[in-house]
Amino acid sequence: MRPDFPADPRYRPAPVIRELAGGDGAPFFDPVEPARFPKHVLRYRNQRWAEEIGLGGLSDAAWIEHMGRFRPLPDNLARPLALRYHGHQFRTYNPEIGDGRGFLYAQLRDSRGRLLDLATKGSGQTPYSRFGDGRLTLKGGVREVLATEMLEALGVYTSKSFSLIETGEQLSRNDEPSPTRSAVLVRLGHSHIRFGTFQRLAYEKDADAIAALVDYCVREFDPDLAGLPAAQKAARFFGRVTRRTARLVAQWMAAGFVHGVLNSDNMNVTGESFDYGPWRFAPVADPAFTAAYFDTTGLYAYGRQSEAGAWNLSRLGGALALVAEEGALNEEFAAYPDAFEQSMADAFFLRLGIKRQGQDDFALVLSLLRWMEATRAPFERVFFDWFAGAASQARRNASPLAPLYLKEDFAATRARLLAAEPDRPARLSHRYFSRPEPATMLIDEVEAIWAPIAEADDWSRFRAKLEEIAEMRAAFGFDASAYRP
C-alpha cells in the first residue's frame, strides 16, 4: 500500500468489470479522464460506509485526492469508465444517452464478498455528454445526500452518498438561480448495470454482448443461476430482477417517496434505488403527487410508480428476448403483480413495526392508504404513531391525530392494527420515539437547509438534519442497506 493509503484488510479491490471487454471496452464502456477542478472543499464524507469498505482511515487530504481528483485506488481501475446505455425517457426511446457526467471509478468487495461500485456524478464530460457540461450543482449534491440518508433510515434499498466535494466552479442552470456552485458526488452501490445497458445492446442487435452481460450479472448478483443453460439463465435472471424491482417500488411507497424520473436508464438490475434528481417525499398519501415539475401528466406520480416499474421491466424483457425464449420471459414477468403485493405488505408492516398476519395483509395496507388519502393525515406522522401497533397506545393517545384514529371510518383498520403482534417493541425505548414529532424530509425543509448554505455558507442545518436522520436510523434499525438475491 502507498504511504497515504493506510492498510486496512476491509479494503478488497475487485475491478471485475474489465472482464466484460478487452481493449477499449466496447460495447460496454469507454475509458475517460476526470475533470480538473479549480478547488476541492470536502463537504460530506460517509464515514460509516467508508469504514465498511476499508477507506475509513483516509485523511481528508487523501480522501480529496481519491474522491475529488480521482487518483486511482490501489489495485483498482487504472482509469474511470463511462458506461454505455440507452433508455426510455418518459416512454420515448433515447439512443443518445450514456454516462454523460459520471463514471465508474472503482469496484470493491464487502466482508461477505458482494460487489460494490464507486461511481460519480458531476465528474466531467464524457463521450455521452452531448451539449452538457458534465457538472453537478452543489445543491443537487446536497439534495442527493439528504435523499439517500433518509431513504436508508426508512428501510429503502438505496445507493449511498459516499462523498460530496465542492469544486469551485460557477454553473448556469435553468432550474436554479445562476450562477450556482458546483460539486462532485461519489455514490456507493451494488451495481450500475441499468435496464438501459441491455437496451443499448439490443438496439445494436448484439446478442453475444447481452449474453456476456447476463453472465457478468449472474456471477456477481445471482450466482446460483450460473449453471443453467444460457436461455434459461437469462429468463431466470429476468425473474429475479422483476421481483427485486417490485420490492424496491414497494419500499418507496412505504416511505412516501416519489423518485420523480423513473426512466428505464434510472433502474438497475439489483433493484437498488439510485440517481436522485427531482425527488420528493409526499406530505400526505396522494396518488397523484409528483416530484418533477416537468411531469405534467403525472406519469411518475406516487400512485403510478408500480406501473412505471412494470413498464420498464417490459423493456428489459424485450431486450433479453435476443437471448431467451419469449414465453419464459413472459412467465417470469407475470410474477410482478403478486411480488408487488407481497412486497407492499412486507414494507408497510415493517414500517408499522408489526408482524405479517396472513393472506389479507395487502388488504390492510390498501385500507390504511385509502384512509390516509381521504383524511390527508401527515404521512410520516401515521407511521410514527403506530410503530409497534398496540405497544404504542400511550404515545398514540398523545398524538395530534388521536381524534382521527378514534373515528368510525378508521375502526376496521384500527382493529387489525391493534390485533397485530408488535415486531421489535423494544425499539420504542429509543429516545427517538419520545420526540413530539417524527423526522421528515419535505420540500420546504430541503429548501430551508439549502438557503443558509447558499446565502452564508452555513452548513449547520445540513449537519443537524443528518444527525436527526442518524437518530431515526438507529431507532428503527432497518436493514435495507445491503443487496440480497
Catalytic residues: 265
Going by the DSSP 8-state scheme, the letter that residue 379 receives in this structure is H
In angstroms and rounded to an integer, the radius of gyration of the C-alpha atoms of the chain is 22
Q: Which of 23, 32, 83 is nearest to 213 (CA)?
A: 83
Q: 290 and 176 in contact (C-beta within 8 Å)?
A: no
| Set of cell numbers at residue 373 | 388519502
Q: Is the peptide bond before 13 cis (omega within 30 degrees of 0)?
A: no
CA distances from 62 to 244, 289, 446 (A): 36, 43, 30
b/e sequence 451-473, b meaning 16+ C-beta within 10 Å: eebbeeeeeeebeebbebbebbb
Beta bridge mates, 189: 117
In the chain, the amino acid numbered 448 is A
b/e sequence 242-262, b meaning 16+ C-beta within 10 Å: bbbbbbbbbbbbbbbbbbbbb
d(CA 472, CA 478): 10
d(CA 156, CA 249): 9
Give the pairing type, strands 87-89 and 115-121. Answer: unpaired
Task: Report helix, strand or coil for 180.
Answer: strand
> Which secondary-structure segment (H or E) carries 411?
helix 411-419
d(CA 146, CA 464): 11
Q: Which of 155, 132, 128, 162 is nearest to 55 (CA)?
A: 162
Residue 443 neighbours by CB distance under 10 Å: 14
d(CA 368, CA 417): 10
| Opening angle at CA 158, ends 155 and 160, nearest 5 | 115
Give the pairing type, strands 87-89 and 92-94. Answer: antiparallel
HSE (CB half, 13 Å, CA atoms) of 212?
A: 17
**Helices and strands: H and E segment counts in the chain:** 16, 12
d(CA 316, CA 272): 16
